[in-house]
Amino acid sequence: MLHNKDNNMDERSDAVDRISDLPEPIIDHIISFLRRDDVVRTSVLSKRWKHVWASFRVLDFDQFYFERLGKDKETFFDHVERSLSRFMEHSDTRIWKFRLVVKVVDFISATLVEKWMKAIVKRGFEELDLWIYPDIRSCYLLILSVLASNSPKVLKLRECSVLVHHLNTTGMKFMSLRKLTLDTIKLGGKLLDNIISTCPLIEELALIHCYGLSKIQVNGLHVIERFDVIGPWKELEVIEVNAPSLVYFHYDDEYAPFIDLSKCQNLKHLSIWNSTIEAASFDELISKTPSVEVLDVISCDMLETFQISSLRLKQFALYDCKRLAWFDLDAPNLNLFLYKGNLGPLTTSTGASSGKWEVKLDYYFYYDFDTLTQLELRQLISRKSHQFKALTLSLAYGLITKTPSILAESPNTTNEVEYLKLDIQQYSSFPIVVNCLFWICHPRILSIVLKSQSAVYIAKRLCKELLVCQKDDIDCCDSWRVKCWRHYLKAATVEGYEGMEDERLIAFLDAAAKTLPGDQKIQFRLKW
């Protein structure tokens, strides 16, 4: 019986094993997105999978990852030994990527690292990613010979100051190198200049958590397209880049050095994250990079005001700049403005832009989303309703606790927005929430995130309310001078749950209130 059962399982496996029919380059591409241990676990999916992963040309070995899984040093070293032996047995092709994170604590481990490096030399490699801890001179002298015989296209070095200093003295040239990443390395004196000179055809350069420099100068890289500087850089005072080919510059650090990109005439994407840059420096940086089409300003907490005047700017992301009070944005060709933060800067901003706005507003306390805030948001949308593509409201901690009296005194809004996403994290009364939101704007699509009982409750109540609104005999406020939103709603449909009748949908939401599905959402299409 067991034999027959196994045969049946084999037949079922053959029936669903579509992976084996794929060309090997496609299987390689699929596996490239997985860690090696994940590839091993999924080898049961296909008869060819086990063979393919054994000869797979991405070799990724991380001792710290093994330790997080509760495995000891001996298990890790044995895993590397077996994996390399298996690769050498099944493949005679060049290695795409060799990544090694290892602690060298004794003569035996140093000998094994030497053995592994010699093994990859036999095959050759495209990308080398090394973090050998601690920074041991003997290991890196060997790696120098490896680099001399195999010029990689991608080189990533972390805490390898000894190796970097030796590269500085050898006079080696890496004419094939296209991407260089230096992570947590001391760069003093002319060291960075000399390293850059060894790879004149580099296209991407990243300096991460490095130290020892007060000034970064990038010159002589005639084909560089991307430059990333990621801190902390406590000593850094100046970044100066002379690279007409540069397309993308990213700076991420709490410190704010002077950044000169004026000689990067083709810069298209400028990204500033977590910086203490202030208005004067920011305005100067923007004014000297007129070619920028995409601008990201994220969590720059010292930025209180700024001015942007650009004919080329097409996309602008402005997120979480806590002290921002006002900005002037004159960008007539702006297609998309992404904003997350307080409402204040939006209501006081000036300038002109023709693009669509995607705005995310977070309110964590009842006094943050008070009557005045709701009125300001309504007025803002009224002025710029043609620009609002999406509005996300995150409401928490018992917000909208009462209906503002102004709702009963002013006409219902005619402001329409394309998309309103509602994220309710704590209990709020259904009629108060809906009345306030539909007094502020009329969304053509309303999306409610179902990650709290309050959100599910409001979604369920709204479903029932919309069923009533489909009828012609709405008489909820016939005697009032100001009519509620129900009298303006012409039609409503539920999206995202095709084929589910109204009763089943409400039953689903009843169940959701108990199970809290988390990232699910329900979407209503409304016609006003």
DSSP E strand boundaries for 145-247: 154-158, 179-183, 204-208, 215-218, 226-230, 238-241
pLDDT tens figures, 254-277:
999 999 999 999 999 999 999 999
Residue 204 Cα distances to 33, 200, 223, 243, 374, angstroms: 21, 11, 9, 12, 46
Summarize pLDDT for 304-332 with one digit per residue, the tens.
Answer: 999 999 999 999 999 999 999 999 999 98
Ranges of beta strands (E only) in 349-490 are 356-363, 388-395, 416-424, 442-449
Helices (H), 288-423: 344-348, 371-384
Please name which of 382, 377, 522, 500 lies closest in space to residue 445, comparing C-alpha atoms.
522
Mean pLDDT confidence for 288-311: 96
Q: Render 125-144 in DSSP notation, one character per residue.
A: EEEEEEEEES--HHHHHHHH
| 221 contact partners, CB below 8 Å, separation of at least 6 | 196, 200, 202, 205, 243, 245
Which is more confidently placed, 468 or 235? 235
More confident residue, 422 or 425: 422
Residues in the chain: 528
What confidence score (pLDDT) does residue 160 get? 79
**In 137-216, alpha helices (H):** 137-149, 161-170, 191-197
> Contacts from 162-166 at CB under 8 Å and sequence distance 24+?
162/135, 162/136, 162/137, 163/130, 164/191, 164/195, 165/191, 166/140, 166/141
Q: How confident is the model at residue 2 (pLDDT cuts 50, 70, 90)?
A: very low
Contact 441, 378 (CB under 8 A): yes
Asked if residues 291 and 267 have their Cβ atoms less than 8 Å apart, the reply is yes
| Lowest mean pLDDT across 7-11, 350-354, 369-373, 435-439 | 7-11
Residues 6 or more apart whose CB falls under 8 angstroms from that of 258 comprise 237, 238, 239, 281
Q: Which residues pair with 359 in a beta bridge?
A: 339, 391
Q: How many CB atoms lie within 10 A of CB 69?
A: 9
Residue 405's beta-bridge partner residues? none
**Dihedral over Cα of 452, 458, 464, 467: its sign:** negative
pLDDT of residue 308: 95
What is the pLDDT at residue 310?
94
Q: Residue 498, Cβ neighbours under 10 Å: how many?
A: 6
pLDDT of residue 122: 80
- Residue 202, token pair as written in the block: 């580099």
d(C-alpha 256, C-alpha 233), whole Å: 9
Average pLDDT over the chain, rounded to whole? 81
Assign 3 a pLDDT band (cuts: 50, 70, 90).
Answer: very low
Other CB atoms within a 10 A radius of the CB of residue 11 amount to 9
Tokens of 32: 């490239």
Helix (H, G, I), strand (E, B), or coil: what is residue 420? strand
The token pair at 349 is 């901003």
pLDDT: which is higher, 33 or 386: 386
Alpha carbons 419 and 411: distance in angstroms, whole number: 22
